[in-house]
Amino acid sequence: MGAFLASVWEHIVAFFTTYHWFRDTLDILLVALAIYGVVRLVRDSRTEQLLKGLLFLGLIYAFAYLLRLTALKYLMDIIFDNALILLVVIFQPELRRVLESAGHSRLGTLNLFGVSAEEAEKTRQNWRQAIAAVCDGVEILQRQKMGALIVLERSTKLGEIIQTGTLVDAAASPELIGNVFFNKAPLHDGAMIIRNGRVCAAGCFLPLSDNLQISRELGTRHRAGVGMSENSDAVVVIVSEETGTVSLAVAGELKRNFSPEALRVALENAILWDWARQETAEGKRPGWWRRWLSK
């Protein structure tokens, strides 16, 4: 027993003797952070079921190896030799969501070229007009029981989504929104994209959410709105065709029963306040290329 404890003590002393406090501690923290990220990715999503399937394949491989089942082991070898490619294909939606989330961080909001004060003020005015138009247009659609799906683009660019619809490039107005979502209009089934305070496109197709927590009472329009908010930092306004209820989808969460005034406040907080915060963070300075040209 004494020899065993002495051996354990020697191993402990050897560990702390060779332990590099800064490098090894940083290494452990980074690995822990990576594990935490994987756990957050897996929890409460379909990824958990996929990992269970991979674990089951691992058990089959161990079973074939221990019992020397040649044919089964050969098949498992083929699968695990290409495991990296299979993981990328299987977890492509989850990996894309992680990378997009990283792009929403501070690092992803760095503006290399910047904008002039005049351009910033013009965009701010466009957003004020667009928010007022959306609220007034939604009120009209509510009274007429017509559905709508309006996406307000923020820092995540939605070029791929815009390409699925029809380009508009017009100033936002209640009349335009009402005409687009009129139930006999050709573009009423798709989504309207508002970029920099202007109506950029209409009739766009949005990705549907896989969230099983969404009520079954809600239809495809709500699931598309939530899906868009899951895949970007966009703010999505949804008007129910059946009930006229106004909902807002942000960051994968759906909030319902907005009045026109409450919707206006929510959009101003999400769009104008975020715009002002980014200007403050950038110090309202023009980009390096504009400063160089002005010399």
* Overall domain count for the chain: 2
Phi-psi region of 19 (alpha: psi -120 to 50; beta: other; left: phi over 0): beta
Distance of CA 263 to the CA centre of its chain: 21
Task: Look up residue 204 and give its DSSP letter.
Answer: E
Does one domain contain both 182 and 76?
Answer: no
Q: 51, 77, 103: which is the final residue of a domain?
A: 103
Does one domain contain both 221 and 146?
Answer: yes
Does one domain contain both 242 and 151?
Answer: yes
What the block records as the tokens of 4 is 């065993």
In angstroms, what CA-CA distances link 109 with 27, 46, 53, 102, 193? Answer: 28, 30, 37, 10, 20
CATH number of the CATH domain containing 208 = 3.40.1700.10
Q: Which domain holds residue 219?
A: 116-282
- Give the pLDDT score at 108: 45
- Give the pLDDT score at 226: 92
Look at residue 13 and tell me if it is in a domain.
Answer: yes
- Give the pLDDT score at 153: 92
Q: Are 206 and 224 in contact (CB under 8 A)?
A: yes
Q: Torsions phi, psi of 192, nearest 5?
A: -95, 135
Look at residue 295 and tell me if it is in a domain.
Answer: no
- Give the pLDDT score at 166: 93
- Give the pLDDT score at 56: 87
Does one domain contain both 99 and 155?
Answer: no
Alpha-carbon distance 47 to 97, whole Å?
12
Look at residue 74 and tell me if it is in a domain.
Answer: yes
- Give the pLDDT score at 193: 95
Q: What is the pTM of this model?
A: 0.61
Identity of residue 103 = G
Largest Cα span, the chain:
88
Does one domain contain both 94 and 147?
Answer: no
Look at residues 292, 293, 288, 295 and name the one whose alpha carbon lies nearest to residue 112: 288
Look at residue 264 and tell me if it is in a domain.
Answer: yes
Does one domain contain both 138 and 275?
Answer: yes
Report the chain's terminal Cα–Cα distance, integer Å: 80
Per-residue pLDDT of the chain (295 residues; tens, 9 = 90+): 677 788 878 878 777 777 788 888 888 899 898 888 767 666 545 566 667 777 888 899 898 889 888 888 888 888 888 777 877 776 666 666 666 656 555 444 444 445 567 777 888 899 999 999 999 999 999 888 899 999 999 888 888 899 899 999 899 999 999 999 998 888 888 999 999 999 999 999 998 887 777 777 788 899 999 999 988 889 999 999 888 899 999 988 899 889 888 999 999 988 887 555 555 444 444 443 343 333 3
Strands, E assignment, 25-65: none
